[in-house]
């Protein structure tokens, strides 16, 4: 009997804690603040218990994890799909086993320098090789005639690009624009230090000022998944192509991207967000040198340990693609991730159709040279629209304990929200289940 009593108290305590948790989140969420990353820290405190629970379930199997449903304890738990933490990919890397294990000894990679014969002296040569190789294998970017620059995630490279492309002695800060809906961090990252070199100037579609400007082209786009081209098209513009999502699990690879300045990251390609490794492919030598100088001034290079690890992970991605089926029984990374994304989009569309309150974009199918099949884009984020008379979709979903990022952060109507499609199975499955049952 004492045992049963103890179990009951634990359960009561858990429900109480969860209720407190939810009320804290709701309170925190109402604090207004601009920018996405502020948002990230804004929501984190209240979600501690939930995140930690997710985290503790990460090593358990999918089937075990999906038994965690909201029916337990009679309390709906909060589903956080606000950030794009790519935890979905953990499953694949668990299957791969020891092939991507890195072993680094205490005396290795201690120096600031990786390769002083390269203008990017902090880039590990082996990482450079695997970057070239993965682009060749996938066919998503031209690397010939490009300088490769490694960064602490593509965020640092984005800032380095702004620094490198800004006129040095312009009469005023250069305008930085992007077509709405744009990545919610662009405005706050650009304006955070009130730089005299560059300044956020909003939606590229309504930009009409003369003179130099920098246009950010994210393709496929975050948040809405559309394939993009530049829209301003004036002679004095320079372009930054953010291609974080130009990989075959998200969109058909129609041709190798061939732009002046392209940004990539392991966060969204392989799911290793915690590594903080991105890379830029840059045609112009002087632009590359200035980006490198920015990284010197900003962080004096990039973690060697993560570069060593990224090398091994990218190698595995290429190996699994080149030897698909025969790679010691392990599936191609992109076949796995394509399959999971296809399944998730199918489930999402079913949920959206059954609720009749929401809609998601339709995408034109295209031929993917890498997978050699025609398919519709299946983006890393769902760009969900609340239909009928729901004006604030973020608040509406929050009322149902689903956290997503509202349209205003992306420069558009609050009728939209961005929902991460890359979370762990249990969270995603709970999300589509709950979405399908929401009634007005």
Name the minimum Å distance from CB 423 to a copy of itself.
10
Binding part of the chain for a copy of itself, among 21-29, 130-138, 212-220, 299-307 by CB under 8 A, reads: 299-307
**Site for a copy of itself contains 86 (CB under 8 A):** yes
Nearer to a copy of itself, 14 or 121 (CB): 121
* Cα 213 to Cα 198: distance, rounded to the nearest angstrom: 9
* Cα 428 to Cα 80: distance, rounded to the nearest angstrom: 10
Per-residue string for binding with a copy of itself, 54-73, x by CB under 8 A?
Answer: -x------------------
In this structure, what DSSP letter does residue 88 have?
G
**Site for a copy of itself contains 174 (CB under 8 A):** no
Name the minimum Å distance from CB 206 to a copy of itself.
25
Name the minimum Å distance from CB 198 to a copy of itself.
8
Start-end of H helices in 270-303:
285-299
* Cα 175 to Cα 190: distance, rounded to the nearest angstrom: 10
Single residue of 1, 4, 71, 110 touching a copy of itself by CB under 8 A: 110
**Site for a copy of itself contains 121 (CB under 8 A):** yes
Single residue of 94, 205, 233, 437 touching a copy of itself by CB under 8 A: 94
> Is the bond preceding 220 in cis, omega lying within 30 degrees of 0?
yes
**Site for a copy of itself contains 159 (CB under 8 A):** yes
Burial (CB count <10 Å: 0-12, 13-18, 19+), residue 9: exposed
Half-sphere exposure of 435 (CA within 13 A, CB side): 30
**Site for a copy of itself contains 116 (CB under 8 A):** yes
Burial (CB count <10 Å: 0-12, 13-18, 19+), residue 144: exposed
**Site for a copy of itself contains 153 (CB under 8 A):** yes
Single residue of 243, 261, 275, 348 touching a copy of itself by CB under 8 A: 275
Is the CB of residue 135 less than 8 Å from the CB of residue 141?
A: yes
Question: How large is the greatest C-alpha to C-alpha distance in the chain, in angstroms?
Answer: 80
Is the CB of residue 89 less than 8 Å from the CB of residue 271?
A: yes
Is the CB of residue 215 less than 8 Å from the CB of residue 177?
A: yes
**Site for a copy of itself contains 117 (CB under 8 A):** yes
**Site for a copy of itself contains 53 (CB under 8 A):** no
Nearer to a copy of itself, 150 or 386 (CB): 150
Is the CB of residue 428 less than 8 Å from the CB of residue 421?
A: yes
**Site for a copy of itself contains 48 (CB under 8 A):** yes
Is the CB of residue 440 less than 8 Å from the CB of residue 208?
A: no
Binding part of the chain for a copy of itself, among 256-264, 294-302, 375-383, 387-395 by CB under 8 A, reads: 294-302
**Site for a copy of itself contains 111 (CB under 8 A):** yes
Name the minimum Å distance from CB 25 to a copy of itself.
12
**Site for a copy of itself contains 187 (CB under 8 A):** no
Nearer to a copy of itself, 85 or 226 (CB): 85
Nearer to a copy of itself, 280 or 368 (CB): 280
> Is the bond preceding 282 in cis, omega lying within 30 degrees of 0?
no
**Which residues, numbered 322-341, are part of the site for a copy of itself (CB under 8 A)?**
none
């Amino acid at each position: 009997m004492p045992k049963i009593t103890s179990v009951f108290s634990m359960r009561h305590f858990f429900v109480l804690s969860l209720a407190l948790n939810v009320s804290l989140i709701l309170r925190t969420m109402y604090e207004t603040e601009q920018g996405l990353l502020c948002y990230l820290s804004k929501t984190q405190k209240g979600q501690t218990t939930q995140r930690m629970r997710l985290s503790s379930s990460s090593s358990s199997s999918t089937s075990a994890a999906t038994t965690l449903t909201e029916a337990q304890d009679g309390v709906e738990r909060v589903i956080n799909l606000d950030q794009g933490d790519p935890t979905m990919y953990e499953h694949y890397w668990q299957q791969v086993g020891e092939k991507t294990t890195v072993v680094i000894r205490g005396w290795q990679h201690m120096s600031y320098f990786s390769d002083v014969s390269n203008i990017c002296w902090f880039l590990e040569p082996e990482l450079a090789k695997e970057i070239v190789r993965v682009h060749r294998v996938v066919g998503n970017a031209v690397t010939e005639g490009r300088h490769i620059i490694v960064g602490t995630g593509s965020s640092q490279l984005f800032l380095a690009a702004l620094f490198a492309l800004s006129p040095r002695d312009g009469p005023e800060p250069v305008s930085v624009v992007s077509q709405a809906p744009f990545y919610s961090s662009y405005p706050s990252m650009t304006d955070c230090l009130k730089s005299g070199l560059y300044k956020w100037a909003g939606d590229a579609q309504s930009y009409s000022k003369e003179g130099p400007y920098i246009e950010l082209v994210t393709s496929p786009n975050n948040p809405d998944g559309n394939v993009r081209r530049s829209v301003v098209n004036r002679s004095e513009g320079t372009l930054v192509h953010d291609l974080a999502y130009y990989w075959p699990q998200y969109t058909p690879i129609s041709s190798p991207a061939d732009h002046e300045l392209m940004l990539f990251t392991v966060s969204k390609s392989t799911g290793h967000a915690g590594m903080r490794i991105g890379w830029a492919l840059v045609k112009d030598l002087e632009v590359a040198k200035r980006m490198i100088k920015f990284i010197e001034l900003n962080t004096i290079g990039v973690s060697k340990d993560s570069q060593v690890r990224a090398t091994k992970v990218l190698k595995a991605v290429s190996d699994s693609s080149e030897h698909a089926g025969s790679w010691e029984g392990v599936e191609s990374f992109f076949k796995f991730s394509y399959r999971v994304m296809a399944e998730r989009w199918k489930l999402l569309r079913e949920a959206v159709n059954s609720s009749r309150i929401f809609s998601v974009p339709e995408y034109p199918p295209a031929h993917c040279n890498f997978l050699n099949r025609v398919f519709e884009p299946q983006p890393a984020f769902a760009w969900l629209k609340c239909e009928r008379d729901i004006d604030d979709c973020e608040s509406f979903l929050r009322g149902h304990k689903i956290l997503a990022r509202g349209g205003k952060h992306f420069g558009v109507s609050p009728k939209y929200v961005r929902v991460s499609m890359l979370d762990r199975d249990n969270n995603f499955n709970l999300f589509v289940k709950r979405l399908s049952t929401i009634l007005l």
